Structure formats: structure tokens, C-alpha cells
Amino acid sequence: MSLPLGALSMDVSELLSRGVAEVIVESELRTRLQSGTPLRLKQGFDPTKPDMHIGHAVGLRKLRAFQELGHQVVLIVGDWTAQIGDPSGRDETRTRLSAAEVRANAETYMEQFFRVVDRQRTEVRWQSEWFGQFTLEHALDLAGRFTLAQMLSHETFRKRYETGAPLTILELMYPMLQAYDSVAIKADVEFGGTDQKFNILAGRELMAQLGMTPQQVFLVPLIPGTDGRKMSKTFNNTVDIRMPPAEMYGRIMSMSDEVLPLYFEVLTDVPMVEVHEMKMAMAAGQVNPRDLKMRLAREIVAQFHDQAAAAAAEAAFVRQFVERELPEDIPNFAIKAPAGIVEVLVAAGLAPSKSEARRLIDGGGVRVDGERVEGYTLTLNPGANVVVQVGRRKFVRVV
RNA sequence: GGGUCGGUACCGAAGUGGCCAAACGGGGCGGUCUGUAAAAUCGCUGGCUUACGCCUUCGCAGGUUCGAAUCCUGCCCGGCCCA
């Protein structure tokens, strides 16, 4: 019994196109996939900032898909490159980390990584296995294989150089080390976000120089955050893999309508035909984007938690934001003596300072049992059992 | 090593002796609206004070002055040019 050829090639097509930014060289990778030999898929990470968001999951889902076709993931812990910090897309030099921090971060990272990727089909390698043995001679040899012009063809480096921002030689070493990793583990394909193109290509370059078959480059798109800008911790527009279900659900609901179809494409298995239908329906105003967003939120929460958690998160969302009722879990805040509303807001963590608390009251953002608070004179008594609310999302029950 | 330019609040960026808690933009937060924690729109955005007001902040440390983010000296950090 043989597989229908049509179905198989469809699979590969989708594998190489859906949620993919660029494959270099696509025809070669296609051939190697069809050869039936298991490929070594390199994915590196620097244990610097271990919090992963769903943007990272786009690539992890791809790794998983390859694994399901029988390929082997090689996860590289960049314990050396972490000391430099990836300069890609960076305007400034990063601060360096201690060995202990690196170890702890690596743990945290892997805990998240293996929520998507199959641990059984993953080989974990630390850079120190090879860089720990490196001598100055090796380092000089490596440095001698790349030119300054090559490095400055990288937009990040060039921009920093041209605008006069600081740029250290150490940072120029980063792509070289990453390239050498590919040599060390004999990578067939290296995965990364589009911001990794330069670094991964450096690996191709180096492998070719050393007479090896150059690795294929598999780039996944960097997805926009909930506000449409680049997803990044600094913009606070991420949906983190470790977020509890309700928060994850809420963050997805808060995203801009325009990014919906893309999220469906890269983060769910909803058939592409359906995704296109959604796009059309939205453009034609035939569907409330909110409903699509709810479906997306359910799909994603279920992926990182489970169906039940997703359903519960949805129910809580509907209750709080659609029906505008109080959320179910309102933390209690006990006071021992009568206290003014301003003090309570600060003590309960609803406002960072008394000045801010007063501003919130002035702006009409503070409610006690649903009644808007006017002025700063309101006093709450112990055992009052009232709900103090700031904005639509922060609640505390004062007891 | 020499010359020169620069370091301002969460970020970017004005301000170059008093009118500066410091323009403007972004972000954040809040209000309104809304079928969404979308969009739109309005407001707020150092701390303490019911309030008058007071206190701390413009790389760091001193100094000049009635008064300094603004002037002077030293130091630290970065860019560029020259070597």
C-alpha cells in the first residue's frame, strides 16, 4: 500500500510555505526531504532572556512538524554566544551574564521549548562542548575566514557603524561562533527567525569553506505583537507561553484585528482555505472580528494548556468584558483599621503611588462596588467587603 | 595620545542662567464610545500634600551665582576626525 503521491507532496508544500518567511535553497531542501534520510535540524538559542512568547512558537511548531516526518532536532544552548549577546536588530551592546544565570535561563528556556517540540527526538548540545576546547589558534583561524566587508553587509552592523553607535569586535564574533556551531553538529538545516538570516548564512559560508555540505536556511516570520508592532517584551505586546490561560486568552483578545489572519496561519492548524475565507469575510464586514478572535484565543490557549482551560478562560472573558460582570476570582485585601481610599489603592497595588491614585480618581477610573469615586475623602472600614476597581481590569475585594 | 561633538524623564527628542517637574512624539494608564482588553476620541503621565505648597530629578562629583538642565573645573561613558 503506497501513499498517494499527491497528498504527500501537498504536505511538503505546506510545510515549506505556511508560516515560513524564506527557505534557502528551497529546491535543495525539497530534494533532501524527499530523499528519505533523516535531517539534522539545528535550532540555537541564547540563554539570556528565557521568556518565550508565541512568536517563538511559530518556529517551534515547524520543528515539531519536521520531527513528525522523522527528522532530528539538535538544540544548541548558546552558553558562549550568550556571553556576547546577539547583536542582530540591536542598537546597543548587551550586558554580559554570569555562568549561573546562563544555566538557570537555559533550564527555563528548555522547559518552554519542550512544550511544543518533542523531547524524544531532540538532541541537546552545549556550545561549551566545542568552544570549551577552543584555543586562540582556533579563534584566529575562525576570525580569518570572514572579512570586515562581509560583516558590514549585515544591516545591523552597518547601521550601527554608520550612525556612530558603539560596535565592538566581540560582537562581530557572534555570527562566526554561531556559524561554527553548525560545523560542530553537522547541521543539515538551521532554523531561525528572519532576523537570523545573516547568522545562518554565515554558517553556510563556513561549512562550504571547510568542505562540508552547506546547511539549508529555514526562516520563519517574526510575527507582530498584539498591537501590530513587532512582538517584543519592550513593547509589552507579547503573549507569553507560560501565561496562565485567562491572561493568555485576554492578551489575544486585545490584539489588533488586522493581524488575525496571520496568527491563524502561523499558530494554528486551521486549513488555509478557511483562513482565506475569514480574511474575505472580515474585509466584507460579514463577520465580527471579535468572534474570530475568540476562536483564535481558544485554539492557542488549548495548545499551551488544554481544551478545558481554554473554555474556562473564554467563559471568564465573556463574563467580565462582554457581560461586564465582576470576574470570579477577585483577590482579597485585608485592612486592619479604617483607611482612606487613596491609601488602599496604593497598599493593594492598584496604584503605584498616592499621586497616581489621586490622578486615577480625578480621571474617573476608580470605582467602589461599581460606584465611581469622587474626591479623596472616602474611607473604607475593615470587613467592609467592597470591591475596589481601577479601570476595567484591576479588582480587589477589601475585607 | 590630540582635536571635536555628545550623555535630559519608560523610549526618542527639545531646552543652553530665572517664565523648567522640564516642549513635542511614542509608549503606558484612565475616561467615553463599542458586539472585542480592536478601532476611534478625550484626559493623565516624578514624589508628598484635602489644599496653599513643599521635596527630589536633566551622566557623576565639586564650584560660580540671589538663582543652574543651562556657566566653570575634574571625572566617567560614547561618537567622529587626526595619529
Query: What are the tens digits of pLDDT across the range A179-193?
Result: 999 999 998 999 998
Residue A281: which of A268, A295, A269, A267 has the closest Cα?
A295
A52 touches strand B (CB under 7 A): no
A165 touches strand B (CB under 7 A): yes
On whether the CB atoms of residues A397 and A331 are closer than 8 A, the answer is yes
Write down the pLDDT at residue A87. Answer: 63
User: Residue A342: pLDDT above 70?
Assistant: yes
Write down the pLDDT at residue A354. Answer: 93
A236 touches strand B (CB under 7 A): yes
What gap in Å lies between CA A233 and CA A228, rounded to an integer? 14
User: Residue A10: pLDDT above 60?
Assistant: no
Write down the pLDDT at residue A146. Answer: 86
User: Residue A239: pLDDT above 80?
Assistant: yes
A257 touches strand B (CB under 7 A): yes
Query: What are the tens digits of pLDDT across the range A45-88?
Result: 888 777 788 888 999 999 998 998 889 999 999 888 876 666 66
Write down the pLDDT at residue A29. Answer: 83
Q: Which residues of A304-325 are buried (b: 16+ CB within 10 A; e: fewer)?
A: bbeeebbebbbebbeebbeeee
CA A369 to C1' B5, whole Å: 58
Write down the pLDDT at residue A124. Answer: 93
Query: What are the tens digits of pLDDT across the range A307-319?
Result: 899 999 999 888 8
How much of chain A is in helix, strand and coil states, percent to nearest 5?
A: 50, 15, 35
Query: What are the tens digits of pLDDT across the range A105-124?
Result: 888 889 889 988 999 999 99
Please report which confidence band the pLDDT of residue A8 belongs to, taking 50, 70 and 90 as the band edges.
Answer: very low
Write down the pLDDT at residue A93. Answer: 47
* pTM exceeding the 0.80 threshold for the entire prediction: no
* Cell reading at A304: 499551551
User: In terms of C-beta distances under 8 Å and separation of at least 24 residues, what long-range contacts does A59-65 make, across chains too?
Assistant: A59/A191, A59/A192, A59/A193, A59/A220, A60/A113, A60/A116, A60/A117, A61/A19, A61/A116, A61/A266, A61/A267, A62/A15, A62/A19, A62/A20, A62/A191, A62/A218, A62/A220, A63/A116, A63/A117, A63/A191, A64/A116, A64/A117, A64/A118, A65/A15
Query: What are the tens digits of pLDDT across the range A261-297?
Result: 889 999 988 888 888 888 888 888 788 888 889 999 9
Q: Which nucleotides in chain B lie closer than 7 A to a protein CB?
A: 27-32, 35-39, 43-51, 78-80
A338 touches strand B (CB under 7 A): no
